[in-house]
Amino acid sequence: EALYWVCATTDAAYTAPAAFGLARVRAARGDTDAAVAALDMVSPTRRAYPQAQLMRAQVAAGDVDAGPVAATVGEVGPGLEVLADGADAEVTEPEPPVEVVEVVAPRRLCQTEGPVDFWVRVPSSPEQVRQVCQQITDDGPGGLVDLSGIDWRVLKVTSDQALLLADRVVATGPYHNVLVDVTWERCFVRRWLNDDFLGLLGEPLASRVVPTHVLNTPSPTWGTDAGPDTDDQVFVLSAEEAASWLAGKDVVTWGKYAGARRFGQSPAEHGLAALDEDGTSTWWWLRTPGDMRDTAAYVYAVGSIFDDGAPVSATGGIRPAMWLDLTGPS
């Protein structure tokens, strides 16, 4: 029991599985209140939360043998999966833990208990989403719109869709959770954006996010392989997209260079430079690989693209991009 307690209270990556262990031990000795308290340690934002609530109800009802095996199959922590027979089985590629603490007001900094820090927002209502879609249709590209508490820059507009980019860095975290050779297809930030982040936008907005075929081309400077193309709902820009869409420049003509690619413009004259929610200039990830496969390109705080890249395990800013359906029901 002491070991479970240490794991649950010192490492968020193991809070959920340790809480289940604590509950089993305490329920077995008849300490129902303590078992319930252990299960209450599992945050509502964790995937194991439904299992924890089911076990909580069973323990409170006096079913002292109940455990996470009574719930549906699901992840309870990195590398652990709840199985029908109650065993804990190793998975081959554990997903790094990301926990976002819910707050009631937008733009309040929320420190997560995992690799990503995210500023939690209040999701937009269906009517708010509908009104913003109409505004984009009327105004076209170039403006800013507020959806789910995030200011989005409207980069492109077609007859029925719009490409949006977060105007500020909305989260900070690693491109990948460990320093290894990795491409966009397998990196952590891609999984986080298309799973946790998309869900945090709320159903009215998330239901309008259009799946997109994302082109992953080699580094225009170093030729580093970018891996296969992917189909994503949310993504980060490539070096080519950032240079073209935000600074009006063609990356293909650059050739190799030492250091950063600057555009001869002040940060105020293009959208490459970005602030975080505290108003501090910060750097942010691109999905283009750097000069080696364990690095990824990024945009420096002053608005320069560093195509040689940063180690994928470094903590950088995340500016999500997505295509929005302007006509479909929200």
Checking if the pLDDT of 207 tops 60, the result is yes
Range 74-93 average pLDDT = 34
Question: 86-131: per-residue pLDDT in tens?
Answer: 333 333 444 444 433 333 333 333 434 456 777 667 889 999 999 9
Instruction: From 329, 98, 81, 112, select the one nearest 205 (Cα to Cα).
Output: 329
Q: Which of 37-41, 93-97, 113-117, 156-160 has the highest mean pLDDT?
A: 156-160
Checking if the pLDDT of 259 tops 60, the result is no
* Token pair 């007001």: residue: 105
Q: What are phi and psi of 211, to 5 degrees?
A: -60, 135
The pTM (predicted TM-score) of the whole model is 0.65
The two tokens of residue 176 are 């990948």
Question: 260-309: per-residue pLDDT in tens?
Answer: 566 555 555 567 888 887 888 899 999 999 999 999 999 988 888 888 89
Considering the chain, what is the average pLDDT of its residues?
78
Report CA-CA distances (Å) from 59 to 22, 52, 53, 117: 12, 10, 10, 34
Instruction: From 52, 51, 48, 28, select the one nearest 39 (Cα to Cα).
Output: 52
For the ranges 55-64, 231-240, 241-250, 274-283, the lowest mean pLDDT is seen at 55-64
What SS3 state is found at 200?
helix
* Token pair 């040689």: residue: 308
Question: 167-206: per-residue pLDDT in tens?
Answer: 999 999 999 999 999 999 999 999 999 998 998 899 999 9
List the alpha helices (DSSP H) in 89-154.
126-139
pLDDT at residue 37, as a whole number: 78
